[in-house]
Chain A
């Protein structure tokens, strides 16, 4: 079947042939047994598919959809929260690793006698003491 015949068949099944095209279609059917067989097959297949009945979801589909929509609406910043939630594992692990490295570097370079906290945070002990003293 060539493209023209294929288009003619599909438009016949659509019911969109003009009267002139319908005449051409009928003439083709009567003179071309292969085309006629294609029309018969296409109509039979259409009946089988239609006869299989409508497809449907399990009962309660509307309630399930609305429950999801209402849940999303109740959680106002849902999209932003989802973005943060997805970003968290990607950012948290490298950030923690970097923090540990910086603290280790500070600790190794700290002057002797510095408290462990001052050493880890890289601050001279006297500054921390001075700040605490000023506050108190």
Chain B
């Protein structure tokens, strides 16, 4: 019975799953979590690095999505909505870290990039772990306003218009932040880029 349920919900559209959750079917939300786990992971790990903070931010983002589903108005795609919540949660965490650090360190110290955890050895996703760590380290050197556009555009493949909508910025601002982010990333990943 349970298997039949899970098979049937896999073919449901986002709108059908959202409607089911707002009617009180929490199991339908499990399908939403499965469907958008990768989107949330790319956003929060790209912003915070792999580790416990990203896991916590990912869970908090999913809970926020669950609590706010009845307010989702479908004026943007659900994927964009999910990404926006995940990004805002990650930015909140970065602000919290900065506030915490500013209590104990000088301004120069607290503005410096945060150390990020190594990607766990048991990480189950495909790809070049070493290269991924280099990319995450390079992203971590960027200030959050540049990191956010780089994560959305370069890692998640959103168009500049979508990035502007998610971050509530003008397209011109996204163009200029992307350009700056690319310069920094190019410098940080020079060996990777030219070893290709």
Contact = CB atoms under 8 A, between A and B. Distances in A.
B26 A42 contact: no
B33 A45 contact: no
Contact of B59 (A7, A47, A64): A64
Contact of B185 (A10, A14, A45, A64): A45
Interface in B82-138: 120, 122-129, 131-132, 134-136
B107 to A, nearest CB: 31
Given A45-B154, A48-B189, A57-B58, A70 B125 contact: no
Given A11-B160, A57-B54, 14 more contacts: A10-B175, A16-B161, A41-B182, A41-B186, A42-B182, A44-B194, A45-B186, A45-B189, A48-B196, A53-B126, A53-B128, A55-B46, A62-B30, A64-B55
Nearest to A46: B154
A66 to B, nearest CB: 5
Contacts of A46: 154
A125 B18 CA distance: 67
Interface string A33-56: 000000001101111111111111
Identify which of A3, A41, A42, A61 gathers the most chain B CB atoms within 10 Å of its CB.
Answer: A61
27 contacts: A3-B172, A3-B175, A6-B175, A6-B176, A10-B174, A41-B193, A46-B154, A48-B135, A48-B192, A48-B196, A52-B132, A52-B134, A53-B128, A53-B129, A53-B131, A55-B50, A55-B132, A57-B55, A57-B58, A58-B55, A59-B124, A61-B41, A65-B58, A66-B26, A68-B63, A69-B29, A69-B66
Given A10-B160, A42-B182, A61-B37, A52 B127 contact: yes
Nearest to B46: A55
Contacts of A66: 26, 29-30, 33
Contacts of B29: 66, 69
A45 B159 CA distance: 16
B45 interface: yes
Contact of A49 (B38, B120, B126, B135): B135
Contacts of A92: none
A69 B110 CA distance: 34
B38 to A, nearest CB: 6
Contacts of A91: none
B154 A54 contact: no
A53 B46 CA distance: 12
Contacts of A65: 33, 58-59, 62-63
